[in-house]
Amino acid sequence: MTSGELQGKVALVTGASRGIGKAVALKLSSLGAKLAINHIAPEKANADAVVAILAQQGGEALALEADIRNSEAVKNMVQAITDKWGTLDILVNNAGITKDTLVLRMSDEAWDDVLDINLRGAFVCTRAALRPMVRQKSGRIVSMSSISGIMGTAGQGNYSASKAGLIGFTKSVAREVGGMNITVNAIAPGFIMTDMTDRLPQERKDAILSMVSLRRFGKPEEVAELIAFLASERAGYITGQVIGIDGGM
């Protein structure tokens, strides 16, 4: 991709303070986009550090604390973006959590928290972002599903359900807004090295690695490349798709 490819575009990446979201923010900014860095932790250290890196690279960025489950907070976040930059062109529904355990032992809370953040949060953000996108008759939405949402994973009944739900949601919204030149896609990463996967026990990591054709885990920067492509003009005829990035699992 060429630098300046996203010049003048405004992007919101949810959960951009760490991990894949941070890598996506860095990539989109390097291509010229202005970046809204969403995070939830009240201590802003991580999000502010991302904003500082982007500023150092000559980019424009804004840290915005909002729990993506909270409709009012998300509405205000999108308002803050359009107040500052006049528009919103790209939404990356990235924020997500895991609360892994076998279904037999899973609490209502573990189910609700994961579904609320991973699935409801993406709905709330998509609905809010669609308003400016529909107005300008263009936009790009990319949501972070997972290979777990396609294959299922033992110990991740809640997470797999949320990620499978995102696929149905993506395909439905793509049909609703295609006529307005808004593309809506999901990506399904395999095992990517971040805080989320770092805490898995070594035996589990070894078992996953044995299923990866490329015999290594993915890097957040590799996922960011795919998202940057889907967010670009070059992906203008791709919508309602789920694209795998899993090293061949």
Per CB under 6 A, which region of 53-61, 78-86, 88-96, 208-216 contacts ligand NAP? 88-96
Residue 149 binding ligand NAP, by CB under 6 A: no
- Kindly tell me which residue out of 39, 88, 227, 239 binds ligand NAP, with binding defined by CB under 6 A: 39
Q: Which residue, 19 or 139, has its beta carbon nearer to ligand NAP?
A: 19
Angle in degrees, CA 10, 52, 72, rounded to 5: 50
Examine the residue annotation and report whether 237 is marked as an active-site residue of this protein: no
- DSSP letters along 86-101, please? S---EEEE-------B
Of 101, 227, 111, nearest to 156 (Cα)? 101
Number of residues that bind ligand NAP (CB under 6 A): 30
Residue 170 touching ligand NAP (CB under 6 A): no
* Residue span binding ligand NAP (CB under 6 A) among the ranges 80-88, 194-202, 208-216, 226-234: 194-202
Q: Is 17 in the site for ligand NAP (CB under 6 A)?
A: yes
User: Does residue number 15 form part of the binding site for ligand NAP (CB under 6 A)?
Assistant: yes
Q: Does 192 bind ligand NAP (CB under 6 A)?
A: yes
Q: Which is nearer to ligand NAP, 5 or 223 (CB)?
A: 223
Minimum gap (Å) between residue 135 Cβ and ligand NAP: 25
Closer by beta carbon to ligand NAP, 96 or else 165: 96
Nearest to 225 by CA among 179, 184, 189, 181: 189
Q: Quick check: 19 binds ligand NAP (CB under 6 A)? A: yes
Does 194 contact ligand NAP by CB under 6 A?
Answer: yes
Angle between helices 45-56 and 19-30 (to 10 degrees): 20
Closest among 227, 243, 245 to 26, alpha carbons compared: 227
Q: Which of 197, 209, 222, 238 binds ligand NAP (CB under 6 A)?
A: 197
User: Alpha-carbon dihedral of residues 130, 50, 148, 1, nearest 10 degrees?
Assistant: 70
246 within 8 A of 191, measured Cβ to Cβ: yes
Kindly give the pairing relationship between strand 90-93 and strand 61-65: unpaired
C-alpha to C-alpha distance for 14 and 120, rounded to whole angstroms: 13
Q: Does 27 bind ligand NAP (CB under 6 A)?
A: no
Out of 85, 159, 191, 217, pick the active-site residue: 159
Q: What is the DSSP string of 19-80?
A: HHHHHHHHHHHHTT-EEEEEE--SS-HHHHHHHHHHHHTT--EEEEE--TT-HHHHHHHHHH
Q: Which of residues 90-119 bind ligand NAP (CB under 6 A)?
A: 94-97, 117
46 or 181, CB closer to ligand NAP? Answer: 46
The answer to whether residue 68 forms part of the interface with ligand NAP (CB under 6 A) is: yes
Burial grade of 228 (CB within 10 A; 0-12, 13-18, 19 or more): buried
| Active site members | 159
Residue ranges in contact with ligand NAP by CB under 6 A:
14-15, 17-21, 38-41, 46, 67-69, 94-97, 117, 121, 144, 146, 189, 191-192, 194-197
